[in-house]
Amino acid sequence: MNEALDVAARVAARLGAVPGVAAVVLGGSLSRGAGHPDSDIDLGIYYEPERPPDLAGLRALARELCAGGAEGAVAPLARELHGDVPDDVVTPIGAWGPWINGGAWLEIEGRRVDWLYRDLARVRRVIEACRAGQVTCDYQPGHPHGFLSAIYLAEVHDCRPLFDPGGALGPLKALAAPYPPALRRALIDRFLWEAGFALDTAHKAGRRGDVLYVSGCLFRAAACLVQALFALNERYLSNEKGAVQRTRALPRCPERFADRVEATLAAPGLDADALLGSLGRMEALARETRELCRQGEPSC
């Protein structure tokens, strides 16, 4: 892990010299101390919208940092999508949509290093909305449950600032602790309802043996229950990846929640009886999650 952190620090220092870069943070599993030897290095590049990062400067830096020239500079998936030239991979602002609004997938010093742009003005607005209990969820490639606006708050809470000369992250981090009560209430209400809705609507399809639809509903319900449980325990969640495993560390959680979710999703079934059985098992988890919420929040 120390090697990855060293690479992150060196790249962040170089990014900080690019005009328009207000702050660079380490995010993802490495920022939480939960990284693996093959974990990507996720670097958030924060900027003020009236002074976005200099794209030519970012592209020049990518060419310099990526050993082996263009062929070795681009992460394999990015190379497949965009070609072998770093200029095609270091995107303009907004290229990946409003939430993950651009960046780059690179290989630097033999490590996968992802650059992810973040608009500070938008982040501030979204954090204030989340603190007031106003949460949105939008379609976003790479987030099969959707991009929850509260991810911005989770990212700020979990990140490690590596370059922040203007102190942009400090006030935002102060808004993330303690966990906002209105956000907790909003996430529990929204996702307990959605989990129930996903399971209710799956029964008819289950009786027809519709594996695709039922499997999607089972995933949706599981993802919703995870959101509710993290909120119940006042823990932030920035990504679906690894989320079920992380429930094992939650103080309040249905017994063997992770094992039961994984067993159900691993084999939802190929016929009506098996699919309906899987729905029943997920419904049991939903009931237990709802009961835990009632114990802590009478209005759940």
On whether both 81 and 144 belong to a single domain, the answer is yes
> Do 46 and 172 share a domain, yes or no?
yes
The predicted pLDDT at position 299 comes to 43
Residues 155 and 207 in one domain: no
Choose one of 124, 145, 176: the last residue of a domain: 176
Same domain membership, residue 192 and residue 151: no
Structural domains in the chain (count): 2
Is residue 148 domain-shared with residue 11, that is, in the same domain? yes
172 or 76, higher pLDDT = 172
> Where is the domain boundary, 124, 150, 176?
176
Do 136 and 31 have their domain in common?
yes
Nearest-5° angle of CA 101, CA 105, CA 111?
A: 140
Assess whether 148 and 259 both reside in one domain. no
- Side-chain-facing half-sphere of 160: CA atoms under 13 Å: 14
- Same domain for 207 and 103: no
pLDDT (tens digit per residue) in 210-260? 999 999 999 999 999 999 999 999 999 998 989 999 999 999 999 999 999
Residue of higher predicted confidence among 193 and 33: 193
Alpha carbon distance 190, 211 (integer Å): 26
Q: Using CA atoms, how far apart are residues 52 and 81, in angstroms rounded to an integer?
A: 25
Same domain, 163 and 19: yes
pTM attached to this predicted model: 0.89
Q: Which of 149, 176, 203 is the last residue of a domain?
A: 176
Question: Within 10 A of 251 (CB to CB), how many other CB atoms are there?
Answer: 8
Q: Looking at the structure, do residues 33 and 170 belong to the same domain, yes or no?
A: yes
Q: Give the pLDDT score at 82.
A: 43
Least confident of 20-29, 68-77, 109-118, 283-292: 68-77
Span 54-66, pLDDT tens digits: 999 999 999 999 8
Q: Could you give the CA distance from residue 130 to residue 122 in angstroms, rounded to a whole number?
A: 12
Report the relative pairing of strands 41-47 and 160-163 from DSSP bridges.
unpaired
The verdict on 77 and 139 lying in the same domain is: yes
CATH of the domain at 193: 1.20.120
| 284 and 260 both lie in a single domain | yes
Q: What is the pLDDT of residue 51?
A: 96
14: containing domain: 2-176
Q: How confident is the model at residue 297 (pLDDT cuts 50, 70, 90)?
A: low
Q: Which of 114, 65, 122 minimizes the C-alpha distance to 91?
A: 114
Res 300: pLDDT: 43
CA 156, 160, 162 angle in degrees (round to 5)? Answer: 120
Position 249 scores a pLDDT of 95
1 pLDDT band, cuts 50/70/90, is low
Report the distance separating Cα 242 and Cα 40, nearest Å. 14
Nearest Cα neighbor of 32 from 252, 248, 246 is: 246
Q: Which of the four pLDDT bands, split at 50, 70 and 90, describes residue 85?
A: very low
